[in-house]
Amino acid sequence: MAKRSDYISWDEYFMGVAILAAQRSKDPNTQVGACIVSSDNKILSIGYNGMPLNCSDDAFSWERNTTEDNKYFYTVHSELNAILNYRGGSLEGSKIYVTLFPCNECAKAIIQSGIKAVIYRDDLYKDTKEVKASKRMLMTAGVAIVQYQPTGRKLEIEL
Ligand SMILES: O=c1[nH]c(=O)n([C@H]2C[C@H](O)[C@@H](COP(=O)(O)O)O2)cc1CO
Ligand SMILES: [Zn+2]
């Protein structure tokens, strides 16, 4: 019997995990997921954007359109969460799949943790100074930037 042929690719698998992780986010506007993978395709860590540990999702603000109390003071970005969630040692030489292009703060953490490639899906904020600074840093530091190529494959998951 021939082996199954409609299995998902590595890229679909890792971006799919990032997309699923994003579904854990409580952010009412933007849900972001990240999946860090070793050079031999083992998942090392996963993260999504959310409040820090012990800072209740219900006590801290999710507002975005105010300079008063707002979510930007508090939320940990998915990429940083994925980096900080890793408990196994070094991320040197790994790659990160992320549903949204990393901001400049995440780019710093990506570079410093030794991640060598960013595979991103959306680039919603590409015209912002933060994302331009992020790209400049990642490129200067030799981190590969690759846009995920959607395949259009749809999977139904019953949970
Ligand atoms: O790199 C990122 N990673 C990440 O997790 N985020 C999170 C922070 C916020 O919770 C949300 C962005 O919110 P908004 O699109 O409403 O500005 O996404 C935002 C960025 C910015 O690109
Ligand atoms: Zn960020």
128 lines ligand 1 (CB under 6 A): no
- Give nearest CA residue, ligand 1 atom 13: 30
Q: In whole angstroms, what is the distance from residue 4 CA to residue 86 CA?
A: 33
- Per residue in 78-129, pLDDT (tens digit) is 999 999 999 989 999 999 999 999 999 999 999 999 999 999 999 999 999 9
Model ipTM over 0.90: yes
Q: Which atom of ligand 1 is nearest to the CA of 27?
A: 10
The DSSP secondary structure of 14-51, one letter per residue, reads HHHHHHHHHTT---SS---EEEEE-TTS-EEEEEE-BP
Distance 70 CA to ligand 2 centre (A): 16
Write the residue with the smallest CA distance to atom 11 of ligand 1: 30
Note the pLDDT tens digit of each residue in 3-62. Answer: 999 999 999 999 999 999 999 999 999 999 999 999 999 999 999 999 999 999 999 999
Report the Cα 50 to chain-centroid distance in Å. Answer: 12
pTM value? 0.97
